[in-house]
Amino acid sequence: MGDVRGAIAILGLTACGRIEFAPLDDAGRDVAVDMMSLECVPPPCAGAATARLCGDRCFAACAEIVMAVDSAPRCTAWGGTLAVMRYQADVDCVTGLSSSQLWMGYFQIVNAATPAAGWSWVDGDPSTFVNWAAGEPNDGATVESNTEQCGELYPDGSWNDEACGLFGEDGFACSR
Ligand SMILES: [Ca+2]
Ligand SMILES: [Ca+2]
């Protein structure tokens, strides 16, 4: 039998379609592992990274400065999406997760009627819960002109609409 050290076994698909892995020992047997710690870890990140398990959901933050457009693939490679917050409990989970501003999975359609109109979650979640910071969303100037179309998570858990082309302040938050 070949050397299987470092190999993994697919345990099965979770309800969310995720694949769970467990390492094998030298004889190819499953090794007892802490699945929770395996499951909720941050994605690879060239900055401060944290992850927090809340119920069955894992939220992760990466303080590496990225463009918004480059942030989503980092979360999908991790097995999730940019962070989706459907309830206050989700906001509570991400509050304090990072001291950085983070891209999140909330985007606005072009030519919305108002700064607050036309937002949707990247995973299609129909939740209408919002946690905008005071005075937000404002599209930068109160009147909607497609200036700020990307959701941004503040360290205190509140949200801001931000220009998607902004580079230099934001890391990203993922959930799965
Ligand atoms: Ca806008
Ligand atoms: Ca704004």
The tens-digit pLDDT sequence of the chain (176 residues) is 444 444 443 333 344 344 444 444 455 544 444 444 458 999 999 999 999 999 999 999 999 999 999 999 999 999 999 999 999 999 999 999 999 999 999 999 999 999 999 999 999 999 999 999 999 999 999 899 999 999 999 999 999 999 999 999 999 999 99
Nearest ligand to the C-alpha of residue 112?
A: 1
CA of 169 to the centre of ligand 2 (A): 14
Q: Any residues with CB less than 8 A from the CB of 60 and at least 6 apart, and which?
A: 40, 41, 42, 43, 49, 50, 51, 52, 78, 80, 97, 173, 174, 175
Q: Which of 101, 122, 120, 111 is nearest to 147 (CA)?
A: 111
Mapping DSSP to helix (H, G, I), strand (E, B) and coil, where does residue 170 land? strand
The neighbourhood of ligand 1, an ion, using CB within 5 A, equals: 108, 139, 148-149
Residues with CB under 5 Å of ion ligand 2 are 136, 138, 148, 160-161
Q: How many CA atoms lie less than 13 Å away from 147 in the CB half-sphere? A: 12
CATH classification for the domain delimited by 40-175, as one of 3.10.100.10, 2.60.40.10, 3.90.1110.10, 3.40.640.10: 3.10.100.10
- Cα separation of 55 and 72, whole Å? 23
- Ranges of each domain in the chain: 1-35, 40-175
Per the structure block, which two tokens stand in for 84? 């989706």
* Whole-structure pTM value: 0.79
- Ligand 2 centroid, distance to 136 Cα (angstroms): 5
CB 148 within 8 A of CB 48: no
